[in-house]
Amino acid sequence: MVPDGTRSVSVFLVNHRIPGSDELRDERFIFQAGLAVHLAEPLIPRPNLKSQATEEWDECVADLQYRDVYEYSVGHGIATHAEIDAEGNCHTARTCWIPSAEVGLVAPAKILNVELRMDALAELADGPAAQKALGPFVKQYRDWIADQKKILPSLTPKRREMAEALFQRAITAAKRIEDGIKVLDDKDTLFAFRMANRVMAKAARRRFGPMQGKEEAAVDAPSWRPFQLAFILMNLPGIVDPHRHDREVVDLLFFPTGGGKTEAYLGLAALTLVNRRLKNPGYTSPGLSVLMRYTLRLLTLDQLSRAARLICALELERHKDPDSLGPWPFEIGLWVGRAATPNQMGFKGDNNPNSARSKTIAFQNDDRKPAPIPLENCPWCGEKFKSHSFQLLPNANEPTDLRVVCLNRRCDFTRNQPLPILAVDEPIYRRLPCFLIATVDKFAAMPWTGLVGAFFGRPVRPEWILWALREGPRPTATSAPATA
């Protein structure tokens, strides 16, 4: 509500200038014009009537969380800016050509007696050690919830109702985090949690080393931000227990750019991949586990580099302990369409300029041409890819795989150890990488591409695969595609 006597004022700039002639009509225009309103008394903020009347969940949450953010003016065909003084009052509002707003830096608060260092969490001895390191996390979160409830008496009835609903969700989240710490009593779950912390720490050092101009060993010890670790712990029970009641819950990470969303879901992805290897030993564990979709191709490629670094770290750990992590490699696939990656390997004489074979040979002959896949640097060591970084195997005439190797001799993925990256559709359908990054255009083709069924445990007959990969004679009715 607004105080009695409040008035809404509209101010316009009207140009009545008349040029002397049509040839001088530009004289009528007014350039870089602006309006400013200043009052000795503070302006009254506009009431947000929409949020008070709506039943939309998002609108009600925004109304509660931004109840102290006010709008003092609105432009007609132009933006406005309100100047707020130190007391929080607005005495001046002016027009501006480009609307702007300050987004505050989101920085994690310090939490005492909670272990956030990835290296330390990677060395937890057992369940009691995990409880000691992480248990205070839940207590402090619940204390924070109790402290926040002090605002309830100051809220309007509708805002109080929404606040109580959010508090109930926070209480549920605290219970899920507590359950996540408890399941670390299981030795396999603890192994997966420790391994996820180990590979995330290694990947972080690989990422921040070049950025800080340091060697990997000299990089500051990587640590989780509190919300990242909370996200992993609250989802942990549903990951390891197929019958968990909250397994169907989808948790949304809503954070500004640079807040750490990627590391949060990569940490949970690493834990999921390791847990699957432990629960299904041998060759029963490979297959697609993490499917990530992006709408923007450039953002997809950025995420590929960061996710590939994690998969590289997992693959190196698998080499050290194949008995636990299985004989099949951890691999990541880029499934983004022909414009960015080849759909087919190709073969000699196919006259297909978009095949992996044609693009690789062209790049090997002239590295000024586009590389066969949209990666410029090794995700593990940062070495720039060269013409011989891409290899057609088993031979260049009828290749079945496009291998990517780093030419840096000090890199772990060089010579006979290729990078665990697949970027051609044919090898992706055949090898089924555990982590797949895709764009929306590929998802749209899912109902029309039978081989995609293998991603979801629905393989097709071998003769259908052969026809689909080589585009040979169409199968007869007796060899039509069938799921197994």
The structure's pTM equals 0.85
For every one of its 484 residues, what pLDDT tens digit does the chain have, with 9 covering 90 and above?
678 888 888 999 888 887 767 777 777 888 888 999 999 999 999 887 777 778 889 889 988 988 888 889 999 889 999 999 998 899 999 999 888 887 777 888 888 899 999 999 999 999 999 999 999 999 999 999 999 999 999 998 989 999 999 999 999 999 999 999 999 999 999 999 999 999 999 999 988 877 777 777 778 889 999 999 999 999 999 999 999 988 888 888 888 778 889 999 999 999 999 999 999 988 888 899 999 887 666 666 677 888 999 999 999 999 999 999 999 999 999 988 777 788 899 999 998 998 999 999 999 998 888 889 888 889 999 899 998 999 999 999 999 999 999 999 999 999 889 999 999 999 999 899 999 988 888 888 778 888 888 888 876 654 444 444 444 433 333 333 333 3
Q: Are 184 and 270 contained in the same domain?
A: yes
In a domain, 464, yes or no: no
Structure confidence at residue 297 (pLDDT): 60
Domain boundary among 279, 303, 333: 279
Centroid of chain to Cα 315: 21
Q: Are 321 and 400 contained in the same domain?
A: yes
Structure tokens at 133: 């390191």
Q: Are 131 and 242 contained in the same domain?
A: yes
Q: How many domains does one find in the chain?
A: 3
Structure confidence at residue 375 (pLDDT): 85
Structure confidence at residue 298 (pLDDT): 61
Q: Are 285 and 274 contained in the same domain?
A: no
In a domain, 10, yes or no: no
Phi, psi of 439, rounded to the nearest 5 degrees? -110, 165
Q: Are 307 and 354 contained in the same domain?
A: yes
Structure tokens at 136: 């205070």
Q: Are 73 and 169 contained in the same domain?
A: no
| Of residues 274, 275, 270, the one with CA closest to residue 309 | 270
Q: Are 217 and 301 contained in the same domain?
A: no
In a domain, 410, yes or no: yes
In a domain, 381, yes or no: yes
- Say whether the peptide bond before residue 394 is cis (omega within 30 degrees of 0): yes
In a domain, 475, yes or no: no
Name every residue whose Cβ is closer than 8 Å to that of residue 422 and which is 6 or more positions away in sequence.
331, 332, 333, 334, 428, 431, 433
Host domain of residue 407 = 281-444
Q: Are 337 and 414 contained in the same domain?
A: yes
Structure confidence at residue 246 (pLDDT): 87
In a domain, 483, yes or no: no
Angle at 69 between CA 64 and CA 70, to 5 degrees: 115
Q: Are 298 and 387 contained in the same domain?
A: yes
Structure confidence at residue 116 (pLDDT): 95
Structure tokens at 457: 């445990």
Structure tokens at 264: 């949060």
Q: Are 142 and 265 contained in the same domain?
A: yes
Q: What is the CA radius of gyration of the chain?
A: 29
Q: Are 273 and 357 contained in the same domain?
A: no
In a domain, 162, yes or no: yes
Structure tokens at 282: 């041998």
Domain boundary among 279, 294, 311: 279
In a domain, 57, yes or no: yes
Provide the 3-class DSSP secondary structure of residue 350.
coil
Provide the 3-class DSSP secondary structure of residue 258.
coil
Structure tokens at 2: 């607004």
Q: Are 236 and 143 contained in the same domain?
A: yes
